[in-house]
Amino acid sequence: MGLGDGLKAITQLPYLGGSQVQTKRGQEQIGARPRRFKLTLATREALWAYAFLLIPLIFYLFLRIWPAFQAFWLSLFSWHVDPAQREFLGAGYYRDMLADSKLHRALTNTLLYAAIIVPAQLVLGLGIALLLNVVTVFRPLFRAIYFAPYVTPAAAVAWVWGWMYSENFGIINNFLIEWSIFWEERGLPWLVIDPQPFLGDPDQALFAVAVVVVWKQLGFQVVIFLAGLQGIPRMYYDAAKIDGANSWSLFRYVTLPLLNPVMAFSVIISTIYALQLFDEVVNINFTDQGGPLNSTLTIALYMYQEAFARFRLGYAAAVVVLLFVLIMIVTLVQLRFFSKRVEY
Amino acid sequence: MKHLVRAMLVAAVLLAGLAAAQVEILYWQYQFDARFDAMEQLIEQFNAENPDIVVRQETFPYDAYQQQVAASLPAGEGPDVVQLFYGWLPTWQRSGYVEPLPAEFFDAAELDATFVPMAQAAKLGGTYYGLPTAVRSLGLFYNKDLLSEAGYDSPPATWDEFIEIAKALTIKRGPRFEQIGWGVAPQGQEHHVIREVLTRQFGTAPYSDDGTEVLYDSEAGIEAFAFYTGLITEHELGVIDFVPGTSGYREGFRSLQNIAMIFDGSFAIGATQNTAEFEWGVTELPVGPSGVKSNFGSFWMNGLTPNALADPAKTEAAAKFLQYVTSPEAMELWLDVVGELPARQALIADPELAADPVFGPFIRSLEYAHATTFVDESAQRAVIMDAVNRVVLEGVDPEASWLQAAAEEQALLDQFAQ
């Protein structure tokens, strides 16, 4: 009996099979008694659901979708308090964006942030969740510890990390100095690492900020993956074990495929977060936001600066449209990539 | 019982009538405790003197302030009278956030004669868009205890002395600084020091008189900039962001006492008095190589928004309030409560104030202070800050970096002139 057979046997168990469908049909038959509008119970339930959904839907349309179109509309005009005095520019701002080197820097930075943050969160989040899933003692405590950074305000996180990264006072450089002294004394000078400027160096700053973001957001990923892991029925593992699967096979052929929807969620959420990155960047270098030399600048921050430090709200709206298109493309591609369903 | 009901009705009608006759004015500034308190006191007095007007104050954190203004006015909400940094005026005015002061309440010739010359920067195209309650200049704050420990009884008067003292007060252990003589902060006040102080001291005005052309790309300008970056790279008097945080150079000077000297504005007097637990002093900025003194002057101005011009009664009330908060009495109260210098010539000329050990250096500096004609303060600050960072962090040649800055800033000026 192979691994596949065992799994097939399980999907044929009545619990996952037709019994639920039968109950549903039963309900429909009860609801199918002659009535004035001849609506089945299922249809009426659905109508009620739509009625309740309508309120958040209107709310969402009015506060989210409509402003998004407004932003597109604004991006076609020069900005003025009085709408009558806004000058129509058409695609003018979009042409300006082509020649805006600071925007290009923000764009490449943002993609680089996503390229670092998303895989790091996926791997670390899953890894920690797998370990926590094994731990049975104090699991809630560990979960709380990993989750704590996620609920800490970005400003506080940035402040503490700013000190840790400090070239002259930071704990990380304190460690590097102790480390270097240790190896120098033992005649291994090639292990010496000089103190680093981190946030003060245009070549290091983006990576330093990305580390902070991963650290801060990791707890959320861990909780999502833990929930996903606990949602995988134990019997799959039991069946696979009966078939003689080792722990790698269990992970590769049971855990990973069944976690696919959770992983898709995780990747999409963290990608959107990375593409909209703002809070951590703003707070970690408060006096030169996005600096030094635009090395940590993101599209969202650039949009904010154009809108609220330079009062160029029309151009900022064009940048928002760019960000919107970028997020939409990336998300659609990811959905396509992750949408294969796994069924056993 | 009937009488009582009738009396109550009459009272209600009277109150309603009174309320209808009252004009409400909303005033906005950013949140800073001393400024908020001073304005509350002014509002209380104003409301008492003008029963037909009710002024209300709202404040927002500094970082959210422009955002609040930008979003509220297009929605028809927000302030009637608003406080703004003078360097923001061009961008605010271009988008219609501030209106010219109405001529029937403000006589430009009289304002020219009574306010300090710097207040001209509240004009665009010859029209006043607001008025300051207070003005500020820059000074060199120093830690007297640290200086005297190193054997210096008086603060530096020239740049040479500044270099000598700052060097003596800088302690480096291995690759790291433990204490620095000078809290380098190009993003703080020092982009102004480079622009308006050093360039002039080395022999060039930073901009043409009409403010449309960058002139600091001259030899003197390059020399001035190279002198500034040399203080960091060559003399190692300090490092940027020595103490992390929003304004680490202030914290290092006031609280941690590991920074001996900083350049800061007169607006920092109050906070320094409240925080510093050591002997400190303040002095005029160092004199240039050929004896030239220069300083950067600036101010926050109070202006009227489109809301204030909605109807004549409102315009009159807003104008009255603006006149009141820029009156001599208001300026004296502001000096007492906030510690900022009055913006009227008659008050600045007060010999007692000029002799004050703390206010004196700032008052004397006002005589030779220049207020940069900004078109886009935040973008122009970034240009200078990046020029410094290119040299200090990336090792770019000061001349190349400075010429790039000049080209970038000229592009901003040209963009605005369009």
CATH number at residue B113: 3.40.190.10
pLDDT score recorded for residue A13: 39
Chain A residues inside the 8 Å CB shell of B376: 310
Rounded to the nearest angstrom, the minimum Cα separation between B378 and chain A is: 6
Contact A114, A274 (CB under 8 A): yes
B276 and B336 inside one domain: no
pLDDT score recorded for residue B86: 95
Of A32-46, A70-84, A134-148, the range with the highest mean pLDDT is: A70-84
Cβ–Cβ contacts within 10 Å for residue B41, how many? Answer: 15
The one-letter amino acid at A250: L
pLDDT score recorded for residue B17: 54
pLDDT score recorded for residue A217: 94
Question: What's B340's DSSP letter?
Answer: P
**Tokens 């309650």 map to which residue?**
B133
pLDDT score recorded for residue A31: 47
pLDDT score recorded for residue B405: 97
pLDDT tens digits, one per residue of B266-277: 989 988 998 999
Rounded to the nearest angstrom, the minimum Cα separation between A106 and chain B is: 15
Backbone angles phi, psi at A263, to 5 degrees: -65, -40
Say yes or no for a CB contact (<8 Å) between B244 and A163.
yes
B390 and B280 inside one domain: yes
B185 and B282 inside one domain: yes
pLDDT score recorded for residue B12: 61
> Is the per-residue pLDDT at A27 higher than 60?
no
B228 and B317 inside one domain: no
Q: Work out how many domains chain B is built from and give that number.
A: 2
pLDDT score recorded for residue A67: 86
Q: Any chain A CB within 8 A of the CB of B8? A: no
Of A83-87, A242-246, B392-396, the range with the highest mean pLDDT is: B392-396
> Is the per-residue pLDDT at A205 higher than 80?
yes
B193 and B86 inside one domain: no
B268 and B312 inside one domain: no
State yes or no: ipTM above 0.85: yes
Say yes or no for a CB contact (<8 Å) between A287 and B244.
no
Say yes or no for a CB contact (<8 Å) between B176 and A195.
yes
- What is the C-alpha separation between A298 and B347, in angstroms, rounded? 47
B146 and B121 inside one domain: no
Q: Any chain B CB within 8 A of the CB of A177? A: yes
B324 and B289 inside one domain: no
Say yes or no for a CB contact (<8 Å) between A311 and B94.
yes
Q: Is B216 exposed, middle or buried (0-12, 13-18, 19+ CB in 10 A)?
A: buried
- What is the C-alpha separation between B156 and A320, in angstroms, rounded? 50
Q: Any chain A CB within 8 A of the CB of B415? A: no
The one-letter amino acid at B23: V
Least confident range from A33-47, A100-114, A134-148: namely A33-47
> Is the per-residue pLDDT at A83 higher than 70?
yes
Chain A residues inside the 8 Å CB shell of B74: 81, 83
Percent of chain A with pLDDT over 90: 56
Q: Is residue B173 part of a domain?
A: yes
Angle in degrees, CA A267, A150, A224, rounded to 5: 40
For domain A93-338, give its CATH number from 1.10.3720.10, 1.10.220.70, 1.10.260.40, 3.40.720.10. 1.10.3720.10
Among A175, A204, A303, A311, pick the best mutation site for testing chain B contact (most B Cβ within 10 A): A311
Residue numbers of A between 140 and 159 with CB closer than 8 Å to B: 159
Residue numbers of chain B with a pLDDT score lower than 50: none
Chain B residues inside the 8 Å CB shell of A195: 175-176
Q: For residue A313, which of A60, A63, A61, A73 has the smallest C-alpha distance?
A: A73
Q: Any chain A CB within 8 A of the CB of B76? A: no
pLDDT score recorded for residue A12: 43
Contact A11, A344 (CB under 8 A): yes
Domain coverage including residue B338: 23-136+298-354
